[in-house]
Structure 1
Amino acid sequence: MAKKNDDKVVIDPADGLPVMKVGPWSEDKHVALCRYVDAARKARAKWPYASFIDLFSGPGRVLNRESGVICDGGVLSAWRMSERGGVPFSEIHIADADAESVEACAARLRGAGAKVQAYVGNASTTVDSVLERLPRGLHFAFLDPFSIEHLGFEIIRKLAARPNIDLLIHFSVMDVQRNIGGDFNLASSRLDAAAPGWRRSLRLKEVPKREQVGEYLDYWESLVTDLTKMQVAQSKPLFVNMKKGPLYRLIHLARHPLATKLWDDAALPTSRQQTLPGM
């Protein structure tokens, strides 16, 4: 999660480090992530090295805007779950455009016992730094940007070049819904980075407005699968806001059918019933 510039910094009284404000739906996202991390522990155990990669890590802890509760964010939750399951990640690679967030997240992970490699910069740049330091092993990348304009297609392409990797991607339905109509005839669009060529390929005037986001997502999936030869899992849970408005989907990419099955099982709605580690 890249830091939002309009958010006032909030300090966690537990450790004196900054936290990020998020909506209440983030907890369900982290539950699904942790269920998958736990389900994949037997696969990790077969490898001498297993990494977790988060190029939008934020500070590692989040504040629920509605309840005021502070809890672990995605990467810290995933680490604790891997450790609790008895097969911890060998190494955690974190990055964020905000240096203070990276420093806080790294400190929290190290305090929790993780081996951490930390990078500062935009994901389009830090992805290269991470890949340069990854040894042979099993890798899992969690891409959780606030907006789809930061989900560059090249980031996915570069990560997918690793033979033993799967990706879990936060795909912002809300961003696409807000911008797809107005951006269609512009010289450049906030949606171009994620799905290059979408305006040349989609005939939006022939598509009902309610179906336009689905058309864009289908086009994005076709780009990803054609280039990476990875499979998009059937389960793509949709997260909504307090008014039931669509926010984002979690989309899983993998080459091994077992990884796809594990995600399809982990992403079931019953994920809400599981408690996150440390809560």
Structure 2
Amino acid sequence: MKHDEEVVLDPADGLPVMQVGPWSEEKHVALSRYVDAARKARAKWAYASFIDLFSGPGRVLNRESGVISDGGVLSAWRMSARGGAPFNEIFIADTNAESVEACSARLREAGAKVQAYVGSACKTVDLVLAKLPRGLHFAFLDPFSIEHLDFEIILKLAARPNIDILIHFSVMDVQRNIGVDFNLANSRLDAAAPGWRNNLRLKEVPKRRQVIVYLEYWESLVTDLAKMQVAQSKPLFVNMHRGPLYRLIHLSRHPLALKLWNDAALPASRQQSLTGF
């Protein structure tokens, strides 16, 4: 939850909600579809966890419709329980202590076993990994902006042998900042894709392709450094004017996990596709 955002309470439980755009609902649908699709694989493990280092308060308010619904981690937990293969443990974190407290309370009320931490994802990832037993793990990284998607977080999570990672990758942030930031001493895009300015000849790239080459470079880091594969399906979410907002990108080492995501991410009719992004 952004610190400068007016706090809105859910009348159902009196706890805060996070205000979001209408496109967030489809993101949570895609997440839930994958959790459901992976239930048989998850059931084969003695232990399975769900990790959300940007959890927010667990419930969201659609700014346009005024409808309050479950956020990512609560949607994922309910789907896992409904499918008969619940996550054994949920690890959540956020920089906002009030959000962590609210999310934790909601998850526990829904029957989940929760471990909760307050702090930046760069720090809480270490706390989570220190408590994470052997098993099958699924991490959902849903930051407010690309500058919070520090690649070190991905590297640390990827050190676990049996883990899948689903990432909210902000195309809008890259598109907005890539041209201006290329010549700055410090770029908002550096943490997400270290070394991008030394490896991309941006002046030789048409403006409409700059986001693509940045994403391709980021994917090369995933493959070369994190030793994970990027799923083929990378649904693009757009705003009401069809402007690109973000992609959901799934990382795994297991062919089955990649196939499940490619099949389950979103029905083909609902996936957005814009040339150049």
Q: Same fold (TM over 0.5)?
A: yes
* 1:246-270 deviation line (CA, Å, top 9, x unaligned): 0000000000000000000011335
Does 2:267 correspond to 1:269? yes
* 1:178-210 deviation line (CA, Å, top 9, x unaligned): 000000000000000000000001111100000
> What is the distance in 1 between the residues matched to 2:243 and 2:253?
32
Kindly indicate whether structure 1 or structure 2 has the higher relative contact order, using CA contacts under 8 Å at least 6 residues apart: 1
**TM-score computed with the length of structure 2 as normaliser:** 0.96
Alignment check: 8 A CA contact 1:28 1:271 kept: no
Does 2:233 correspond to 1:235? yes
Q: How does 1:101-250 map to 2 (within 5 A)?
A: 101-250=99-248
> What is the distance in 2 between the residues matched to 1:212 and 1:147?
18
Amino acid at match of 1:102: V
**TM-score computed with the length of structure 1 as normaliser:** 0.96
* 1:196-232 deviation line (CA, Å, top 9, x unaligned): 0000011111000000000000000001110122110
- C-alpha deviation, 1:271, in angstroms: 8.3
Aligned residue for 2:275?
Answer: none
Identity, in percent, stands at 85
Alignment check: 8 A CA contact 1:62 1:71 kept: yes
> What is the distance in 2 between the residues matched to 1:240 and 1:79?
26
Aligned residue for 1:277?
Answer: none
- C-alpha deviation, 1:6, in angstroms: 2.8
Aligned residue for 1:36?
Answer: 34
> What is the distance in 2 between the residues matched to 1:145 and 1:216?
18
Runs of 5+ consecutive residues of structure 1 not aligned to the other structure = 274-279
* 1:18-57 deviation line (CA, Å, top 9, x unaligned): 0000000000000000000000001111111000000000
Q: Which aligned runs of 4 or more in structure 1 are off by greater than 2 angstroms?
A: 268-273
How many matched pairs?
271
> What is the distance in 2 between the residues matched to 1:91 and 1:49?
8
> What is the distance in 2 between the residues matched to 1:51 and 1:161?
15
> What is the distance in 1 between the residues matched to 2:235 and 2:178?
21
Note the aligned Cα RMSD (angstroms). 1.1
> What is the distance in 2 between the residues matched to 1:6 and 1:176?
23
Aligned residue for 1:64?
Answer: 62
Alignment check: 8 A CA contact 1:32 1:271 kept: no
> What is the distance in 2 between the residues matched to 1:231 and 1:124?
22
